[in-house]
Structure 1
Amino acid sequence: MPQSAYLTPREIGDINLATVKDLLIYYEEIMTKTGEQLSWSYGDSAYPYELVEKEGNEWFYLKGKNENYRMIIIGLSEKGIQVVLPDQSTHGDKAKANELCKFLAMKLKAELTLFNGRVIHHSQK
């Protein structure tokens, strides 16, 4: 059964998929830079996905680069941003999705409802 997490920004009008994609690209860049400082390919482990998008859709997905990671779907919903783990997702996908959701919620100052139903609030500070 698919599982979903939701990011609800304080102002819904401010959010779009381009912003989310830019933040994911930024996340990949900072993980790669961390790896360079450690002399290790940390970026490949911290962000083992490639971003795949379809024209005209309100969603895109992250496709896993190895057998431990398969797919995370990200799209817009009436609540804001929805992150979906389809049936074929692995435990690795769920762990990375939780990590990415927390990163996005922090950057967007959004309320995050995790896959297990728990809620994390981010303040304006």
Structure 2
Amino acid sequence: MSQSAYIKLVAGSKNQDITLQDVQDALHRYREQTSRTGEQLGWDYERAAFPYTIESKGDERWFYLKGITSQYKHIIMGIGETASVSGEPAKCVQVVLPDESTHGDKSKANELCKYIAKSWLAELTMFNGRTVYYNPRK
């Protein structure tokens, strides 16, 4: 059975609206940062930190990350809406691990979710159901 994690934009997040392009831009920034780290370390850290290609089937609601090694298969990312604490709809990114996903996919998905949620100051509901708040709360 597939598992899902959610990155929710809440009050205090940097943006209140997101698109698929915003998610892809965040992944490109992650890839760029890891490539710079690799340059400093003198090895191809980018390939180890982001072992995926970004693939799209032409749908405006989701795309998937396809693994480039046998240790990684797929991670699906899509945008949608969910209810916030106040009951109003809030934009979110749903990250899905299909049935054929590996343990490596789950580890990378957790890492990517944390990176995106932290950079957007969002609320992250992880695959195990726990919630991490990166947004400033009062």
Aligned length: 125
Are 1:25 and 2:58 matched, yes or no? no
* SS of equivalent residue, structure 1 residue 14: coil
Return the offset for 1:49. Answer: 0.4
Match of 1:59 among 33, 53, 62: 62
Larger CA Rg, structure 1 vs 2: 2
Contact (CA 8 Å) 2:10, 2:16: kept in 1 or not? no
Q: Could you tell me how far 1:108 is from its partner in structure 2? A: 1.1
2:114 match:
102
Per-residue Cα deviation, 1:61-85 (whole angstroms, up to 9, x for no partner):
0000000000000001222110000
Structure 1 stretches of 4+ with a deviation exceeding 2 A read: none
**2: distance between equivalents of 1:20 and 1:124?**
21
TM-score of the superposition, structure 2-length normalised?
Answer: 0.86
How large is the Cα RMSD of the aligned pairs?
A: 1.5
1:13, distance to aligned residue in structure 2 (A)? 4.3
Compute the TM-score of the two structures, normalised by the length of structure 1: 0.94
Q: Counting helix residues as a fraction of each chain, which structure ranks higher?
A: 1
Identity among equivalent pairs (%): 50
What is the deviation of 1:5? 0.1
1:37-88 Cα distance to aligned partner (Å, 9 max, x none): 1111111000000000122330000000000000000001222110000000
Following TM superposition, by how much is the alpha carbon of 1:36 offset from its aligned partner in structure 2, in angstroms? 0.9
